[in-house]
Structure 1
Amino acid sequence: MTTLRLRTVLAPIVFGIAVVLVWQLLVTAFPAKGSALPAPFTIAGQFAASTGVIVQASLGTAANALVGLVVGTLVAVVLAVLAAAWRPLDELSAPVVTALSVIPIVALAPVFYAMFGASVETGRQMIAAIAVLVPVYVNTLRGLRTVDPLHRDLLRSYAAGRWQTARTVTVPGAVPFLFTGVRIASSLAVISALVAEYFGGPVSGLGKAITSAVSSSNYALAWAFVLGAIVTGLVFYCATALLETLALARLRPTG
């Protein structure tokens, strides 16, 4: 088991190092003047030289993504609980959720900036929340309905009420599905908040920083900001994965 886990961890790391080395060799062997794709070592050097600016921009994007993740998750869970309890609501909400899943961010951003003003972060946070809502809602609703009929019949034979059934069977069974949705949504929140920054709003965050660097042809700096976005997304994903592990450990029966 330990060897298997070690392979699972080392395999992507080794593959990533190999990709970076090949990238470095290709850029070094075939240099192109004014290339928009600098060598990875150049990007790493720029990242180290601009760490403070990158961290500040990452925090701006992360703040909007976090607000969107929390708000979107809360709304999605409430809607999923209501839809699981009342079938007509599920049928009514299905087309709306489907529509939300295909709305492009490039269409939402200008509309929200016009509604709430371009000087506040509300538009970016709402875009992140909408991106989060769909996967969390779908997974939570599926979890609430994935209950072993044998367990439900057993509780019914013991005259358990709806609250007891929900507390002992339905909710524990839905928690893994909920966290699967949250893990997926954590990355979407960062991506959505970042993309929304391209279309106006306060001059903060990684999206604005990337466009500013590209407009001045400082491609190494632009890729350094992209690296900052990757790190931000990984932090969100790992944090939600840790929360999932802790929550499932608390729900796991002992003895």
Structure 2
Amino acid sequence: MRGATAARTVVAPIVLGIAALALWQLVVVVFDVKPFVIPSPLAIGTAFGQTPDTILASALLTGWNALVGLMLGSIVGILFAVLAALVRVVDQITAPLVAGLAVVPIVALAPVFYTMFGANAQTARQLVAAIAVFIPVFLNTLRGLRQVRPVHRDLMKAYAASPWQATRTVTLPVALPYVFTGFRIASSLAVISALVAEYFGGPIDGVGRAITSAVSSSNYALAWAYVGGAILLGLAFYCVTLALEILANRHRGHA
């Protein structure tokens, strides 16, 4: 039964994807849709096959910036969430800060960071990704830290456990699923944020700048091929974080 369920889980999306691509190709051919509107999947696949090394190099650079931002934003988000759960003053201070960060558009941050850290550095893109990551990781971690039942807190007090001991032995294990949920959401945001930041300056590299360059030269199939590379990059980030979550849950189950 598990094998059949797993097969359906894998096969169904593949069949749906193939059907969607076939319909896309049919609509482009039948209605003679122009490439600047949307190229056909065959044209995009051809462009992808002709420049795989270039697309891979651009995706790796964007992926590195996203990874740095993901790690930085997650670490800071988890640390601030733990502090906010332990110290009420920190919680009161960080609440408006997080609310403010949540509404700041990336398009406004990227040019400012390029001015601060230099147009030839990748730092601005990494910081944009880190800020985007910080918000879901912080909010989900803080929510998880607040899920501990009062009876468990009272038990730790009865054992004269310090706040850090109670957090490490009780609060963090309970919050772990929420942490991974935030981490999984943030993984996709990191890729999107790093890619969007590439549109607004900085070094002439990465998937975002490659898409802009292809569109400016009217090579729309190549631009969509880079979009496909960005999609694969985002899926890779999501799948890795999902695999880490599954492994962590299995380890908790065996513990």
The TM-score, its normalising length taken from structure 1, stands at 0.94
Instruction: Give the Cα separation in 2 of the matches to 1:33 and 1:17.
Output: 22
Deviation of the 1:7 alpha carbon? 2.7
Deviation of the 1:34 alpha carbon? 4.4
- 1:219-238 correspondence runs (5 A): 219-238=220-239
Deviation of the 1:241 alpha carbon? 1.1
Deviation of the 1:158 alpha carbon? 4.4
Given that 2:35 and 2:221 are in contact with CA atoms closer than 8 Å, whether structure 1 keeps it comes out as no
- Mean Cα deviation higher: 32-41 or 235-244: 32-41
Q: Do residues 172 (structure 1) and 154 (structure 2) align?
A: no
CA RMSD of aligned residues (A): 1.6
- In the alignment of these two chains, the number of paired residues is 254
Deviation of the 1:28 alpha carbon? 1.0
Partner of 2:111: 110
Instruction: Give the Cα separation in 1 of the matches to 2:91 and 2:52.
Output: 47
- 1:170-209 correspondence runs (5 A): 170-209=171-210
Quickly say closer, same or farther: Cα 1:220–1:34, change in 2 above 3 A: closer
Instruction: Give the Cα separation in 2 of the matches to 1:84 and 1:194.
Output: 33
Instruction: Give the Cα separation in 1 of the matches to 2:114 and 2:160.
Output: 54
Instruction: Give the Cα separation in 1 of the matches to 2:101 and 2:163.
Output: 32
- 1:152-167 correspondence runs (5 A): 152-167=153-168
Instruction: Give the Cα separation in 1 of the matches to 2:105 and 2:160.
Output: 49
Partner of 1:243: 244
Partner of 1:130: 131
Instruction: Give the Cα separation in 1 of the matches to 2:58 and 2:108.
Output: 24
Instruction: Give the Cα separation in 2 of the matches to 1:30 and 1:184.
Output: 38
**SS state at 2:148 partner:** coil
- Mean Cα deviation higher: 183-192 or 92-101: 92-101
Partner of 2:74: 73
**SS state at 2:171 partner:** helix
Deviation of the 1:99 alpha carbon? 1.2
Given that 2:43 and 2:221 are in contact with CA atoms closer than 8 Å, whether structure 1 keeps it comes out as yes
- Mean Cα deviation higher: 178-187 or 242-251: 242-251
Q: Which runs of 5+ in 1 are unaligned?
A: none
Partner of 2:61: 60
* Matching residue's letter, 1:52: D
Instruction: Give the Cα separation in 1 of the matches to 2:234 and 2:163.
Output: 39
Instruction: Give the Cα separation in 2 of the matches to 1:33 and 1:97.
Output: 44
Instruction: Give the Cα separation in 2 of the matches to 1:164 and 1:119.
Output: 45
Instruction: Give the Cα separation in 2 of the matches to 1:17 and 1:68.
Output: 33
Partner of 1:92: 93
* Matching residue's letter, 2:178: F
Partner of 1:26: 27
Quickly say closer, same or farther: Cα 1:233–1:34, change in 2 above 3 A: closer
Deviation of the 1:253 alpha carbon? 4.1
The TM-score, its normalising length taken from structure 2, stands at 0.94
Deviation of the 1:123 alpha carbon? 0.6
Deviation of the 1:94 alpha carbon? 0.9
Instruction: Give the Cα separation in 2 of the matches to 1:35 and 1:116.
Output: 36
Q: Which runs of 5+ in 2 are unaligned?
A: none
* Matching residue's letter, 2:199: Y
Partner of 1:35: 36
Instruction: Give the Cα separation in 1 of the matches to 2:141 and 2:42.
Output: 43
* Percent of aligned positions that are identical: 58
- Mean Cα deviation higher: 12-21 or 151-160: 151-160
Instruction: Give the Cα separation in 2 of the matches to 1:158 and 1:99.
Output: 40
Q: Describe the superposition over 1:15-68 as per-residue Cα deviations: whole angstroms up to 9, x where unpaired.
A: 222111110100011113443311112111111111000000001101110110
Instruction: Give the Cα separation in 2 of the matches to 1:220 and 1:213.
Output: 8
Q: Describe the superposition over 1:202-240 as per-residue Cα deviations: whole angstroms up to 9, x where unpaired.
A: 011000000000000000000000000000001111111
